[in-house]
Chains A and B, each alone.
Chain A
Amino acid sequence: MNLSLRKVALAAGAMLFAGQLMAEPKRPECIAPASPGGGFDLTCKLVQSALVNQKLLSKPMRVTYMPGGVGAVAYNAVVAQRPADAGTLVAWSSGSLLNLAQGKFGRFDETNVRWLAAVGTSYGAIAVKSDSPYKTLDDLVQALKKDPGSVVIGSGGTVGSQDWMQTALIAKAAGINPRELRYVALEGGGEIATALLGGHIQVGSTDISDSMPHIQSGDMRLLAVFADKRLDEPEMKDIPTAREQGYDIVWPVVRGFYLGPKVSDEDYAWWKDSFDKLLASDEFATLRDQRELFPFAMTGPELDTYVKKQVADYKVLAKEFGLIQ
C-alpha cells in the first residue's frame, strides 16, 4: 500500500516533470518591432488571441513595441540581449527580410535568429483611380516605356522599401531604370488611397487589403495583383494577376515570427508544434481572414530554408537596382 502510494507519487512527479519539460514558456511576450497600430502589431495581436482560443497558451502573450528600422532595433535587442529567452517571439515581415538583405540590420544577418513560423501573407497590387486611362498593366508599362516621366507613381515607403521594390519590378518589365521613375514616397496604404483619389498621383503601388474598401466603393481599380494565381475571395476573384497579363511579378508580403538564436531545441519544438496546430485550425483561418491576410503557413526548417532563399533573392534584386554594391 505504502509502496504503491510512493510509486504513484513518483509516477505523478515524473509526469509533472515531463509536463514541465514540454510546458509553455513562462511570461510569453510578442515584440511588435514598430509603433502600435501597424502591420507588426496586427501580426502579434492575431496570434495573441488565437493561441489562447486554441488553448495552446493559458494566458495571452504580452504585446510590446520596439520600433526602429522595420525591425532592426528589435532584431539587435533579441540577438544581443536575450538570445536564450524562450518566451520572446518577435514579429517579422518580408520588409524585414528585405532590409536584412540590404545590410540595414546592423552587424547581424539572417542566420542569427531561429525562424519559427510564417502565419499569413498579403500581396502587392497596382491601383489607379477608376477614371484612369490605364486599363491593364500593359497600358501602364507601355506608357512608362514611352516616357518614364509621364506617370507619377506613389507608394508606401522609401526607395529600397518593399513597396518601392514592386514599383521597380514594373520599371524593369518596361525596360527602364527604376531611378528614372517619378516616384513619390508616401506613408502606408491610407495615404496612397487619398493621394490617388485626390489626383495627386496617377498610380499607387500598394497592398491588396488596403485598397479593397475603395475598390468596392467604385473609386479605385486594380490593374494587377502580384499573387501567383487569382485570389480566392468573392470580391477579389475578378482582379487579374500580373502573371496572366504576361508579366512574371509575384510579390507576397509574408508575416511571421522568429525566436532568439540560443532558444533551446525543446522550446523551439514546443513553439513549432503549437504553431503547426494553430495554423491548421479553422478558427485561426477565420481570425486571419478578419485581418485581411491570405493563407501562408510554414514553420520550422521549411521556413528557415524559405527565409534564406528569400534573403538571397532580395540581395540579387537590391544589387540589380543599385541599392547595395
Chain B
Amino acid sequence: MDTLGYLGQGFGVALSPYNLVTALTGTLIGTVVGLLPGLGPINGVALLIPIAFALGLPPESALILLAAVYLGCEYGGRISSILLNIPGEASTVMTTLDGYPMARKGMAGVALSLSAWSSFIGAFIATCGMVLFAPLLAKWAIAFGPAEYFVLMVFAIVCLGGMAGDRPLKTFIAALIGLFLSTVGIDANSGVYRFTGDNIHLTDGIQFVVLVLGLFSISEILLLLEKTHRGQEAVKATGRMMFNFKEAASVFTVNIRCGLLGFIMGVLPGAGATLASAVAYMTEKRIAGASGTFGQGDARGLAAPETAIGASACGALVPMLTLGVPGSGTTAVMIGALSLYNITPGPLLFQQQPDIVWGLIASLFIANIMLVILNIPMIRIFTRILAVPNWALVPVIAIITGIGVYAVHATTFDLFLMVGIGIFGYILRKLDFPLSPVLLGFILGGLMEQNLRRALSISNGALEILWSSPITFGVWVLTAFMLVLPLIRIWRKRAVARRAIVDV
C-alpha cells in the first residue's frame, strides 16, 4: 500500500506537463542517438548531462530526461541491427540473427514494430518488478560474488552452444577468436599488459565499439560493395508496417518468459543486457526446437532478445538506485549525473528522497509508452533506408561508423584498428564463419576470465568455491539441464521414429 502511494506520488511528478515534455524530448534524442551505429546509451546520456545541468533542470526532471534518453537509445539501437545487420551495441547482436533475415524477406516494418512491442512488454514487466521488489532484490543481488558470476557465464556459454547449428567447428573457432581478442590489454588482476605490443593504444584492450563496428559495419560495407559490382537484388517491403494479432499472439509467451529473465539478469550488476539477450535467444531456440526457423527470420528469435534487452535496461536501474552500484556502463554515467545534484544513490535513497526514486520509476512507464507511440509511425521512414541504393548507402554507413568510433575515443588509431578488424571480418564471412560468436566470446570470455580469477584469489586457489554456495550449485544444475536437453530431444525423436517403423 505504501508502495502504491509512493508510486501515485511519482506519477504526479512525472505527469506534470513540464516533465512530460522533458520525457518526450529525451525519447526523441535517444532514438536518434541510438540509431547511429557506435553511439549508444552511454554517449547519449553523457552528452546530455552537462546540457541538463546547464539548463538548470530540477533534479527530478533531469533524471527523467536521462531515463528517457537511456530507453530511447536502447530503442534506436535495434533499427540498424534489423535493417542493416549492424548491431548498434553489444546487446543487439542477437537481434541481427533473426531481425535482419526478416527484413530481407520484406518484413522490415513488421520486424521493427514487433521488436518495439516486445521491448515495451519487457520494460513493462521489469518496471513492475522494480516497483514490487526493488529493495528486496538489492539484497539478493549482492549474494552474487565472483564465483557465482563465473558459473553464470559458464551457463551462458553452454546456452550458446546451441548456436553452433550446422557449423559447430566454425562457431567454436569464432568464439575462440573472440576469447583471444578479449585478452588483449591490461590484465585486470596483475596489471600486466598482454598482447599490446608496447602500443599504449591497446593498454585498455580492444574497445567494444571498434570490434563491433569493424566486424559488422566495415565487413558489411565490403560485402555490399562486392554485391554492387555484381548487381544486387532489391528488397521489397511488403508495405505492412504493423505486426498483426496472430504474430503478437505467437510471441506472447516468449515476451513473458524473456521479460522475467531479462529483468533478473539486469538486476545483477555486471551481467547486463548482452548476457540477457544471448541467454534469452538461446533458451527460446531450445524451447522452440524443431518447430522454429531461428536464424532465418523467426519472429520468436526477434522477440526474445528484444524483450530481454528492454527488461534488463530497466532492471539495471535497481542496483543503481538501491546500492549505488552501476549495473551497466550507462547507469555508471547516470550515477555521475546524480552526484551533480548532490543525490547519492545507495541504500538510503529510497528513504531520504522517495519523490526522486518514484518519479523516476513512474517516468519509466511513461517513457516506454511514449516510445511505442513515437516509433510506430516512424517505422515507415526508417524502412526507406532499405530502398536507398548501395552507392549512396555504403558511404553514409562508412561515414557514420567512422564518426561513431572517433567520437567515442578521439584517436585515429581506433579507426585504423576498426578497418583492420573489418577486413578480417570480411575474410571470416567469406569463409562462412559466423560473426556473432566472435563478439559473444569477446564479452562473455572477458567477464568469465575476470570472475574466475577473482573467485580463485578469494579462495586462495581452492576450486571448491566454484560449487560450494547454493547459488553456484543451482546454476550448475541448470547448466547440466541445458546440456542434457538436446540429448533428450534427440532420444525422443529416435523413439518416435522407431515406433513409426514398428507401426509400418
Q: Which residues of A contact B (CB under 8 A)?
A: 31, 35-38, 41-42, 45, 48-49, 60, 63-69, 72-73, 76-77, 104-106, 149, 152, 157-161, 164, 182-187, 190-191, 193-195, 197-201, 212-214, 216-217, 219, 290-292
Contact = CB atoms under 8 A, between A and B. Distances in A.
B190 A73 contact: no
A183 to B, nearest CB: 6
A42 B335 CA distance: 11
Given A158-B189, A212-B344, A213-B348, A290 B460 contact: no
A37 B200 contact: no
B315 to A, nearest CB: 16
Contact of B325 (A104, A185, A194): A194
Nearest to B49: A45
Given A72-B203, A73-B203, A49 B347 contact: no
A217 B336 contact: no
Contacts of A41: 46, 336
B42 interface: yes
A167 to B, nearest CB: 13
Given A68-B204, A190-B324, A213 B347 contact: yes
B474 interface: no
Interface of B: 42-43, 45-46, 49-50, 53-54, 141-146, 186-191, 193, 198, 200-201, 203-204, 207, 269-270, 319, 323-326, 329, 332-333, 335-336, 339-340, 342, 344-348, 408-411, 454, 457-458, 460
A214 B344 CA distance: 10
Given A36-B43, A158-B189, A193 B342 contact: no
Given A42-B336, A73-B200, A187 B188 contact: yes
B42 A35 contact: yes
A198 B142 contact: yes
Given A68-B201, A158-B186, A290 B145 contact: no
A43 to B, nearest CB: 11
A92 to B, nearest CB: 15
A310 B86 CA distance: 47
Contacts of B347: 213-214, 217, 219
A152 B340 CA distance: 34
A198 B268 CA distance: 13
Nearest to A106: B200
Contacts of B50: 45, 48-49, 60, 63
A183 B340 CA distance: 33
Contacts of B329: 35, 37
Contact of B339 (A67, A194, A292): A292
